[in-house]
């Protein structure tokens, strides 16, 4: 498979190739995949105090959020009540339809069209990988494919977010499992960390994918792409088994969406290394 890789906010194709480097190299050595990279078109400055965190400049986003507080979600999530479903948690963060500007909708459509163009121009691309903001765009691309066409055959999401979609009434909404049938039918692999304060978002993305072809794996860390040799090796081994099963149509997930994400035990059917 050849994956198109989409970085998170304040990333770039160059920096993401470094960030994903240990994983990509491991997968290539296993003969499982090759990787190519894209980036957003909005050049941005990193948040104050994080000037050296995101790597060398220039930095980009797929969606311009310069008027928003980059860390608002992190501050709010610490005050949320426990026991909410991932979907209920996300709704507490949803913007009202009136606050989603026409400019933002246009940016979203443009970002999807640019990613779609990259995919269409390279006949070897048959899979997609995204991290954080890039994972949301990747999921949105796969949702549109589910509705209209199919080229990509596999999706990998690191610290993902459910897809956004334009509704017939012009609203831009997140597709959530308790409001719609599975939005993404192809095999998907969801990598998240149980120490990520935004883990509810990754689980909500997993929930809205076809549960027969989705796999969720907890690396036990935070909102990041794992780079240490042990985690990368374990991740590669699990992915190899999942991808081989996907090729044969034998993949099976946990069968039902996850409604309580406060305890990721081995009994949940989720691949987990958080206690290692």
- As annotated, the active-site residues are 132
- DSSP assignment of 14-56: HHHHHHTHHHHHHHHHTTS-EEEE---SEEEPPPTT-TTTS-S
3-state SS, one letter per residue, for 151-195: CCCCEEEECCCCCEEECCCCCEEECCCCCCCCCECCCEEEEECCC
Peptide bond into 126 cis (omega under 30): no
Unique residue bearing structure tokens 């935070």 = 222
Residue 173 CA: distances (Å) to CA of 12, 170, 181: 26, 10, 15
What distance lies between CA 99 and its chain's CA centroid? 24
How many Cβ atoms are within 10 Å of 243's Cβ, its own excluded? 22
Query: Distance between CA 49 and CA 166 in Å, rounded?
Result: 35
Other beta carbons less than 10 A from residue 179's beta carbon: 12
HSE toward the beta carbon, residue 270, CA cutoff 13 A: 26
């Amino acid at each position: 498979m050849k994956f198109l890789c989409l970085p998170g906010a304040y990333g770039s194709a160059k920096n993401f190739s470094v960030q994903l480097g240990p994983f990509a190299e491991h997968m290539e050595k296993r003969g499982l995949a090759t990787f190519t990279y894209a980036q957003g078109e909005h050049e941005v400055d990193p948040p104050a105090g994080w000037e050296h965190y995101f790597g060398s400049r220039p930095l980009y986003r797929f969606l311009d959020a310069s008027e928003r507080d980059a860390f608002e979600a992190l501050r709010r999530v610490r005050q949320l009540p426990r026991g909410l479903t991932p979907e209920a948690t996300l709704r507490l963060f949803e913007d009202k339809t009136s606050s989603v500007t026409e400019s933002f909708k246009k940016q979203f459509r443009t970002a999807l069209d640019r990613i779609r163009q990259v995919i269409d121009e390279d006949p070897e691309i048959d899979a997609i990988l995204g991290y954080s903001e890039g994972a949301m765009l990747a999921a949105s691309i796969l949702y549109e494919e589910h509705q209209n066409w199919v080229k990509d055959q596999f999706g990998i999401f690191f610290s993902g977010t459910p897809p956004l979609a334009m509704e017939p009434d012009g609203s831009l909404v997140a597709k959530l499992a308790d409001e719609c049938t599975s939005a993404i039918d192809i095999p998907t692999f969801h990598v998240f960390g149980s120490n990520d304060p935004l883990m509810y978002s990754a689980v909500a993305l997993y929930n809205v994918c076809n549960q027969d072809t989705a796999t969720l794996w907890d690396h036990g860390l935070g909102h990041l792409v794992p780079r240490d040799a042990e985690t990368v090796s374990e991740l590669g081994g699990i992915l190899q088994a999942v991808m081989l099963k996907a090729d044969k149509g034998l993949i099976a997930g946990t069968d039902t969406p996850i409604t309580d994400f406060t305890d990721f035990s081995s009994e949940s059917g989720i691949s987990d290394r958080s206690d290692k």
